[in-house]
């Protein structure tokens, strides 16, 4: 009985860990409750999106994470735009480039986190030299200078973002009764810059009285208040270049036309009744948050926001953001892996089945996430690097589930849970670039070819990776269980089968790519890096198969070669992009290049090394028999 | 052993040429070329890398280039299909697949030897009846004296090298190529040369420089030695690619223009650009869509046909296909850039991909379930 109770304990532990990650996700402590605010729609990077998505991608840009101190991105954004002074103190900037921080004369933070207040203070002291650096050509800057400029521009952008709504915040008041009466405002009540623009006729009349005054002339209290007011308005006006937040809907064609930032419309132009209505709506929403010190005002704001919104598709995106399908899916993949280990340790069929069930649940969540993306973007889920990673992960798990359903010997479980987890993690690191739903350049903007060529070749990546992974299993089995040759032989057989499927998808995908090229710009094959990358995988798989057919590669040689396939996939998938971007670009791609390098070297060492060890061991075992 | 010996040498060679080993080693070599040829594009650009590694018979002196490797594959495949294809049901898939591959390689051969491609810029409201090669040059002598046409004599790339002599019955002077450079900078002469230099060469000289990564950005230049001109104008002349106003000379009482330009291919019809439109993703500079509305004008009858060429939707006329490739925006004036392709091998990939797809599917259905299933007794 004793082993059973330990078993139970282990399983419940695993479950606790898994569910903890699901349930304990989103708790946060914050005075800010953005609530309905997240539903507002903005135009950003060529498409309409909920403010929630915008906030996440903005926060990713500065903080490298889509939440900050357990606080939602949208709450951060709201605070930044309505109560910037408090927000400036938060350590939002995640800066890993030490040279840039030292270049600003700041001390290094152990967590590499800095507040805007710190940065702006340091920047102000070095304004001139920084401007000179910006003027310098990109090629002439040193690496450290490049990082410094990037940080400087980032800080400027942050400042502009924080000032997006200042024209609609009711924080200017008139204390002089005479002046207030002259322009038709209440004494002491807060008004917005936009509202002052409305009464600029009356203001101009008042200002007229100041004309011709000399230095030292007596000034009435009303006039003094007027001067004061004009100064306040001028300070506001300095924010007019803050035009990142395109939140004002244009009249008519909303998907195609360009939206406006509030400050764009506040440049003194004649507003159309439509524009005025939209600005007033926004103003009311902003006022609700401003008045209540950023507390929960959902009930007040909700109907307002709903009135502003009419776009159905974006609701799906809000749900997608909230549901976090891929994060939940990885929990189940990890759980499936842990359960599988348990089932190995206790040779329990029951736990093995549980592991399979967990893999299927993870897969289903993965699928729903993909379907949501297809629905939101209206295109196949394979058009950016991030999307392809998520999709390839899904293909791997799909194949593994089929494998497991056919064989029931946990091979599929092992491959699927490991691959699903690994690719999700890679995907998360790529989603740190910002909004993962990007618009495409003209040549890619074709659902037909995305749906045929790109989909096929991406499936090909997934299948080729699966074949490579099974070959890894083969090598591991032979290393760890040299006596169990039959296990290894089974893995070999499976890897050969999947390899054939991989040849189908990669070959067909590559040719379809050529046909797309022929259809779109008139040549089937042009030896450009992307095409060559795809050909690299095809050629490698063909070499492996024909080597086996020609008798040049035996079971072990075949498996070693097949275990090297992930290298060709990684080169075609990531390496080619590096070649195009340039190996010397700053920041992000440096990391990719290093990771790619370690991955390739690691894979090569593992495959060739284990091949050699197995070979050597077999020889040594055979030697005594000969004598 | 005795049976192998009894086979004739010829049959043994045929058998070797049909074996998968040939493919195995050739494919490994092609893989090496592929990796090297892709990585060097970073420094040499696509065109030069392609010329050196993929479109060449030999590379690095005596090592086989991509074209040779693919020819070997082609021979290997042909022999395999003739001598090494057992007609068994289980082999049908591979047989079909290999036939498809043979067709694909054949198409590649046709494309390599019987296709032309180039670009065709047309400003809005204007028309054009030729397209120009991206890389290849030609030298043209243009007799402007006939009233309603220009008599053009064109010399192909064999004449465009240092030391070549260009002459023809159609013009009364001879041209010696003093020097030719594939990429040059134009440098002003201070002060202008007087002795022996004529035309543009009096005020400018060319300085050779390294080739650009993007090959079509190179500007070729030549210094010419012209003999037999009127008015004692014999001497050194300068021509270079993309000259705004061509160099003109007088000989035998007639005026000629001499030009170094991208090789031109005449079309049996002309294309007139009516309107160019560009759409961007709202609020960005990223183009989401661009298209050209054109008239295809028949040279003989003058008949016009209106066609819209857009991204992924080319115009096909006779042997030619016109693609929306790019555009030039110069203030209010828009110029569309069409890519033009004439390719005898263009249908091969379509046919062969269908064949290969069927063959592979067949093979997969026959083989894969067997391989994935657990062996008995497991």
What are the tens digits of pLDDT across the range A239-285? 888 888 888 888 776 667 788 888 888 887 888 888 888 888 888 88
Q: Which of B85, B120, B282, B364 to mutate to test the interface with A (most CBs of A within 10 A)?
A: B282
Cβ-nearest to A493 among B117, B280, B371: B371
Element at B275 (helix H, strand E): strand B254-280
- Indicate whether B170 pLDDT > 60: yes
Residue B153 phi, psi dihedral angles, 5° rounding: -110, 125
Residues 6+ apart with CB under 8 A from B146: none
Which band of pLDDT confidence, cut at 50, 70 and 90, is reported for residue A587? very low
Contact B368 A500 (CB under 8 A): yes
Nearest to B245 by CA among B98, B142, B323: B142
Q: Chain B contacts of A441, Cβ < 8 Å? A: 286-288
Quote the pLDDT of residue A20: 39
In the listed set A393, A415, A439, which residue is the last one of a domain according to the structure? A439
Quote the pLDDT of residue A224: 84
Structure-model confidence comparison of residues A616 and A255, the more confident one: A616
DSSP string, B82-108: HHS----GGGHHHHHHHHHHHHHHHHH
Question: A206 and A154, same structural domain?
Answer: no
Quote the pLDDT of residue A270: 84
Range with lowest mean pLDDT among A218-227, A482-491, A575-584, B74-83: A575-584
Quote the pLDDT of residue A517: 82
Question: A66 and A150, same structural domain?
Answer: yes
Q: How far is the C-alpha of A51 from the C-alpha of A285, rounded, in Å?
A: 14
Residues 409-428 of A with CB under 8 A from B: 409
Q: CA–CA distance from A451 to each of A308, A404, A464, A466, B112 (Å)?
A: 35, 28, 19, 22, 30
Range with lowest mean pLDDT among A29-38, A115-124, B75-84, B221-230: A29-38
A252 shares contact with chain B (CB less than 8 Å): no
Residue A596 forms part of a structural domain: yes
Q: CA–CA distance from A1 to each of A4, A220, A342 (Å)?
A: 5, 96, 17
Q: How far is the C-alpha of B72 from the C-alpha of A559, rounded, in Å?
A: 27
Q: How far is the C-alpha of B194 from the C-alpha of B178, rounded, in Å?
A: 18
Range with lowest mean pLDDT among A453-467, B20-34, B152-166: B152-166
Residues 6+ apart with CB under 8 A from B270: B127, B128, B129, B296, B297, B299
B270: left (phi over 0), alpha (psi -120 to 50) or beta: beta
Residue A2 forms part of a structural domain: no
Q: How far is the C-alpha of A40 from the C-alpha of A246, rounded, in Å?
A: 11
Domain range enclosing A506: 454-627
Nearest to B248 by CA among B206, B193, B199: B199
Question: A125 and A80, same structural domain?
Answer: yes
Q: How far is the C-alpha of B13 from the C-alpha of B18, rounded, in Å?
A: 9
Query: What is the residue whose two structure tokens read 């090394």?
Result: A609
Element at B316 (helix H, strand E): strand B315-317
Q: Which one of A296-300, A538-542, B344-348 scores highest in mean pLDDT? A: A538-542
Question: A514 and A479, same structural domain?
Answer: yes
Q: How far is the C-alpha of B304 from the C-alpha of B269, rounded, in Å?
A: 10
Quote the pLDDT of residue A291: 77
Q: How far is the C-alpha of B67 from the C-alpha of A492, rounded, in Å?
A: 35
Question: A491 and A433, same structural domain?
Answer: no
Q: How far is the C-alpha of A530 from the C-alpha of A510, rounded, in Å?
A: 10
- What's the mean pLDDT in A347-359? 91
Residue A459 forms part of a structural domain: yes
In chain A, the number of structural domains is: 4
Peptide bond between residue B191 and the one before it cis (omega within 30 degrees of 0): yes
Nearest to A284 by CA among A307, A267, A265: A307
Q: Which one of A533-542, A592-601, B216-225, B264-273 scores highest in mean pLDDT? A: A533-542
Range with lowest mean pLDDT among A421-435, A471-485, A503-517, B353-367: A421-435
What does the pLDDT look like over B2-19, one tens digit per residue?
Answer: 444 556 888 888 888 999
Q: How many residues comprise chain A?
A: 627
Which band of pLDDT confidence, cut at 50, 70 and 90, is reported for residue A72? confident
Nearest to A588 by CA among A395, A416, A434: A434
Q: Which one of A359-368, A440-449, B9-18, B124-133 scores highest in mean pLDDT? A: A359-368
In the listed set A294, A310, A326, which residue is the last one of a domain according to the structure? A310
Quote the crossing angle between the two packed helices B348-372 and A485-521, to the nearest 10°: 160
Q: Which of A510, A527, A580, A582 to mutate to test the interface with B (most CBs of B within 10 A)?
A: A527
- What's the mean pLDDT in B65-92? 89
Q: CA–CA distance from A608 to each of A546, B31, B359 (Å)?
A: 19, 19, 33
The chain A residue lying nearest B337, using CA atoms, is A521
In the listed set A244, A275, A310, which residue is the last one of a domain according to the structure? A310
Question: A120 and A54, same structural domain?
Answer: yes
Q: How far is the C-alpha of A89 from the C-alpha of A80, rounded, in Å?
A: 10
Name the minimum distance, in Å, from the CA of B275 to any CA of chain A. Answer: 18
Query: What is the residue whose two structure tokens read 């001028």?
Result: A234
Q: What own/partner pairs with CB < 8 Å and gap ≥ 24 does A425-430 have?
A: A425/A330, A426/A389, A427/A326, A427/A386, A427/A389, A427/A390, A427/A393, A428/A326, A428/A327, A430/A385, A430/A386, A430/A389
A456 shares contact with chain B (CB less than 8 Å): no
Which band of pLDDT confidence, cut at 50, 70 and 90, is reported for residue A564? very high
Q: How far is the C-alpha of A14 from the C-alpha of A22, rounded, in Å?
A: 13
Q: How far is the C-alpha of B327 from the C-alpha of B281, rounded, in Å?
A: 17
Q: How far is the C-alpha of A282 from the C-alpha of A301, rounded, in Å?
A: 10
Contact A246 B356 (CB under 8 A): no
- Inter-residue contact A395 to A456 (CB < 8 Å): no
B122 pairs with which residues across the strands? B336
For chain A, what is the total number of helices (H) and then of strands (E)? 28, 8
Which band of pLDDT confidence, cut at 50, 70 and 90, is reported for residue A12? very low
What does the pLDDT look like over A82-121, one tens digit per residue?
Answer: 888 888 888 888 888 888 888 888 888 888 889 999 888 8
Which band of pLDDT confidence, cut at 50, 70 and 90, is reported for residue B180? very high
Residues 6+ apart with CB under 8 A from A406: A412, B372, B373, B374
Quote the crossing angle between the two packed helices A127-135 and A116-125, to the nearest 10°: 80
Contact B374 A525 (CB under 8 A): no
DSSP string, B117-136: EEEEEEETT-EEEEEEEEEE
Residue A48 phi, psi dihedral angles, 5° rounding: -85, 140
Nearest to A504 by CA among B164, B358, B72, B255: B358
- Inter-residue contact B18 to B74 (CB < 8 Å): no
Q: What is the mean pLDDT of chain A?
A: 82
Question: A462 and A606, same structural domain?
Answer: yes
Residue A9 forms part of a structural domain: no
Contact B353 A515 (CB under 8 A): yes
What does the pLDDT look like over A374-423, one tens digit per residue?
Answer: 888 888 888 788 889 999 999 999 999 999 999 888 999 999 999 999 99
Which band of pLDDT confidence, cut at 50, 70 and 90, is reported for residue A575? confident
Cβ-nearest to B286 among A409, A439, A520: A439
Q: Chain B contacts of A578, Cβ < 8 Å? A: none
Residue A36 forms part of a structural domain: no
- Inter-residue contact A523 to B117 (CB < 8 Å): yes
Q: Chain B contacts of A311, Cβ < 8 Å? A: none
Residues 6+ apart with CB under 8 A from A581: A589
Find how far residue B262's CA is from the centre of its chain.
12
Residue A415 forms part of a structural domain: yes
Query: What is the residue whose two structure tokens read 């079971």?
Result: A555
Cβ-nearest to A543 among B24, B283, B357: B24
Residue A182 forms part of a structural domain: yes
Residues 6+ apart with CB under 8 A from B143: B150, B151, B152, B153, B170, B171, B254, B256
A256 shares contact with chain B (CB less than 8 Å): yes
Q: How far is the C-alpha of A606 from the C-alpha of A612, rounded, in Å?
A: 10
Question: A464 and A595, same structural domain?
Answer: yes
Quote the pLDDT of residue A2: 41
The DSSP 8-state label assigned to residue B310 in this structure reads E
Interface confidence (ipTM) of the complex? 0.81
Q: What is the mean pLDDT of chain B?
A: 87
Quote the crossing angle between the two packed helices A73-82 and A143-162, to the nearest 10°: 70
DSSP string, A227-281: HHHHHHHHHHHGGGG----B-BPPSS-TTTSPPB-HHHHTSSPPPPHHHHHHHHH
- Indicate whether A551 pLDDT > 80: yes
- Measured torsion, CA atoms of residues A612, A617, A618, A623, in degrees rounded to the nearest 10: 130
Residue A238 forms part of a structural domain: yes
- Inter-residue contact A505 to A463 (CB < 8 Å): yes
Quote the pLDDT of residue A237: 85
Which band of pLDDT confidence, cut at 50, 70 and 90, is reported for residue A300? low
Question: A518 and A606, same structural domain?
Answer: yes
Q: Which of A255, A524, A525 to mutate to test the interface with B (most CBs of B within 10 A)?
A: A524
Quote the pLDDT of residue A307: 61
Under DSSP, is residue A67 helix (H, G, I), strand (E, B) or coil? strand
Q: Which of B135, B276, B278, B281 to mutate to test the interface with A (most CBs of A within 10 A)?
A: B281
Q: How far is the C-alpha of A256 from the C-alpha of A537, rounded, in Å?
A: 40
Question: A260 and A356, same structural domain?
Answer: no
Question: A600 and A476, same structural domain?
Answer: yes
Structure-model confidence comparison of residues A144 and A9, the more confident one: A144
What does the pLDDT look like over B22-48, one tens digit per residue?
Answer: 999 999 999 999 999 988 888 888 888
Tell me the two tokens of residue A403: 């494998």
Question: A400 and A494, same structural domain?
Answer: no
- Indicate whether A28 pLDDT > 60: no
Q: Chain A contacts of B34, Cβ < 8 Å? A: 532, 535-536, 539
Contact B283 A43 (CB under 8 A): yes
Cβ-nearest to A521 among B20, B38, B325: B325
Q: Chain B contacts of A504, Cβ < 8 Å? A: 357, 360-361, 364
Tell me the two tokens of residue A275: 């524009």
Nearest to A279 by CA among A249, A322, A235: A249
Residues 6+ apart with CB under 8 A from A157: A244
Sign of CA dihedral B171, B174, B180, B186: negative
Quote the pLDDT of residue A255: 67
Quote the pLDDT of residue A308: 62
Residues 221-250 of A with CB under 8 A from B: 246
The DSSP 8-state label assigned to residue B116 in this structure reads E
Q: How far is the C-alpha of A215 from the C-alpha of A259, rounded, in Å?
A: 46
Element at B184 (helix H, strand E): strand B184-188
Q: CA–CA distance from B1 to each of A62, B7, B16, B20, B251 (Å)?
A: 75, 10, 16, 21, 80
The DSSP 8-state label assigned to residue A522 in this structure reads S
């Amino acid at each position: 009985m004793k082993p059973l109770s330990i078993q139970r304990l282990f399983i419940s532990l695993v479950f606790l860990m898994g569910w903890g990650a699901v349930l304990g996700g989103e708790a946060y402590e914050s005075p800010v409750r953005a609530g309905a605010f997240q539903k507002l729609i903005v135009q950003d990077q060529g498409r309409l999106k909920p403010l929630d998505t915008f906030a996440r991608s903005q926060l990713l840009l500065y903080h490298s994470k889509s939440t900050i101190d357990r606080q939602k991105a949208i709450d951060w954004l709201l605070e930044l735009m309505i109560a910037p002074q408090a927000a400036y103190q938060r350590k939002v900037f995640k800066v890993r480039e030490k040279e840039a921080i030292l270049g600003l004369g700041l001390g290094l933070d152990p967590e590499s986190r800095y507040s805007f207040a710190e940065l702006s203070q340091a920047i102000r002291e070095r304004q001139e030299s920084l401007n000179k650096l910006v003027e310098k050509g990109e090629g002439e800057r040193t690496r450290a200078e490049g990082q410094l400029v990037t940080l400087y521009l980032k800080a400027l952008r942050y400042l502009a973002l924080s000032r997006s709504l200042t024209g609609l915040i009711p924080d200017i008041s008139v204390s002089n009764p005479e002046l207030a009466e002259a322009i038709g405002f209440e004494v002491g009540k807060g008004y917005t810059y936009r509202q002052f623009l409305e009464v600029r006729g009356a203001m101009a009349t008042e200002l007229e009285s100041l004309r011709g005054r000399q230095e030292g002339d007596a000034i009435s209290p009303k006039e003094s208040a007027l001067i004061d007011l004009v100064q306040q308005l001028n300070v506001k006006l300095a924010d007019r270049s803050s035009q990142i937040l395109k939140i004002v809907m244009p009249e008519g064609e909303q998907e195609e036309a360009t939206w406006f930032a509030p400050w764009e419309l506040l440049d003194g132009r004649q507003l159309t009744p439509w524009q005025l209505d939209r600005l007033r709506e926004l103003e009311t929403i902003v006022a609700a948050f401003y008045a209540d010190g950023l507390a929960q005002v959902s009930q007040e704001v909700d109907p307002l926001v709903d009135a502003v919104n009419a776009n159905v598709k974006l609701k799906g995106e809000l749900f997608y953001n909230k549901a976090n399908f891929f994060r939940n899916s990885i929990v189940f993949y990890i759980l499936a892996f842990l359960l599988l280990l348990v089932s190995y340790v206790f040779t329990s069929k029951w736990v093995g089945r549980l592991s399979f069930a967990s893999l299927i649940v993870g897969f289903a969540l993965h699928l729903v996430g993909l379907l949501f993306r297809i629905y939101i973007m209206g295109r196949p889920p394979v058009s950016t690097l991030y999307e392809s990673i998520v999709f390839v992960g899904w293909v791997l798990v799909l194949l593994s589930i089929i494998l497991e359903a056919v064989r029931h010997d946990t091979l599929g479980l092992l491959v699927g849970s490991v691959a699903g987890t690994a690719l999700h993690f890679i995907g998360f690191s790529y989603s740190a670039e910002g909004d993962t739903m990007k618009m495409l350049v003209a040549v890619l903007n074709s659902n037909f070819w995305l749906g045929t060529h790109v989909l096929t070749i991406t499936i090909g990546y997934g299948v080729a990776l699966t074949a490579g992974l099974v070959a890894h299993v083969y090598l591991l089995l032979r290393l760890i269980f040299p006596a169990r040759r039959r296990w290894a032989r089974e893995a070999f057989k499976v890897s050969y089968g999947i390899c054939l499927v991989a040849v189908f998808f990669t070959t067909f995908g590559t040719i379809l790519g050529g046909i797309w090229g022929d259809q779109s710009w008139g040549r089937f094959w042009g030896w450009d890096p992307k095409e060559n990358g795809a050909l690299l995988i095809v050629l490698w798989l063909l070499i492996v198969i024909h080597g086996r057919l020609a008798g040049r590669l035996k079971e072990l040689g075949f498996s070693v070669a097949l275990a090297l396939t992930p290298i060709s996939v990684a080169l075609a998938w990531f390496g080619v992009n590096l070649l195009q971007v340039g190996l010397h670009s700053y920041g992000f791609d440096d990391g990719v290049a290093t990771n790619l390098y370690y991955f390739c070297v690691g894979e090569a060492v593992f495959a060739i090394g284990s091949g050699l060890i197995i070979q050597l061991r077999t020889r040594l075992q055979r030697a005594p028999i000969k004598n | 052993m005795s049976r192998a010996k009894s086979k004739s040498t010829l049959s043994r060679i045929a058998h070797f040429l049909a074996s998968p080993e040939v493919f195995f080693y050739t494919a490994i070599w092609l893989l090496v070329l592929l990796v090297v040829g892709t990585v060097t594009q970073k420094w040499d650009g696509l065109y030069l890398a392609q010329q050196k590694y993929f479109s060449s018979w030999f590379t690095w002196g005596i090592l086989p280039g991509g074209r040779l490797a693919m020819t070997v594959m082609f021979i290997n495949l042909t022999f395999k299909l003739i001598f090494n294809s057992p007609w068994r049901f289980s082999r049908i898939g591979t047989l079909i697949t290999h036939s498809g591959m043979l067709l694909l390689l054949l198409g590649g051969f046709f494309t390599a030897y019987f296709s032309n491609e180039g670009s065709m810029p047309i400003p809005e409201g204007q028309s054009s009846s030729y397209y120009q090669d991206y890389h290849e040059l030609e030298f043209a002598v243009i007799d402007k004296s006939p009233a309603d046409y220009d008599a053009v004599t064109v010399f192909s790339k064999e004449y465009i090298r240092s030391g070549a002599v260009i002459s023809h019955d159609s013009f009364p002077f001879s041209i010696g190529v003093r020097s030719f450079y594939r990429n040059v900078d134009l440098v002003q002469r201070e002060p202008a040369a007087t002795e022996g230099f004529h035309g543009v060469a009096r005020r400018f000289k060319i300085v050779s420089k390294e080739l650009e990564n993007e090959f079509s950005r190179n500007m070729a230049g030549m210094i010419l030695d012209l003999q037999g001109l009127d008015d004692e104008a014999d001497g050194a002349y300068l021509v270079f690619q993309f000259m705004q106003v061509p160099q003109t000379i007088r000989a035998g009482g007639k005026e000629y223009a001499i030009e170094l330009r991208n090789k031109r291919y005449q079309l049996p019809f002309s294309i007139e650009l009516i309107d160019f439109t560009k759409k961007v993703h709202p609020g960005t500079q990223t183009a989401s869509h661009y298209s050209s509305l054109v008239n295809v004008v028949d040279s003989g009858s003058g008949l016009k046909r209106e066609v819209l060429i857009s991204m992924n939707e080319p115009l096909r006329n006779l042997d030619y296909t016109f693609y929306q490739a790019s555009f030039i925006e110069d203030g209010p004036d828009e110029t569309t850039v069409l890519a033009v392709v004439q390719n005898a091998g263009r249908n091969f990939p379509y046919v062969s991909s269908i064949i290969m797809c069927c063959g592979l599917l067949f093979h997969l259905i026959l083989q894969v379930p067997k391989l994935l299933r657990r062996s008995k007794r497991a």
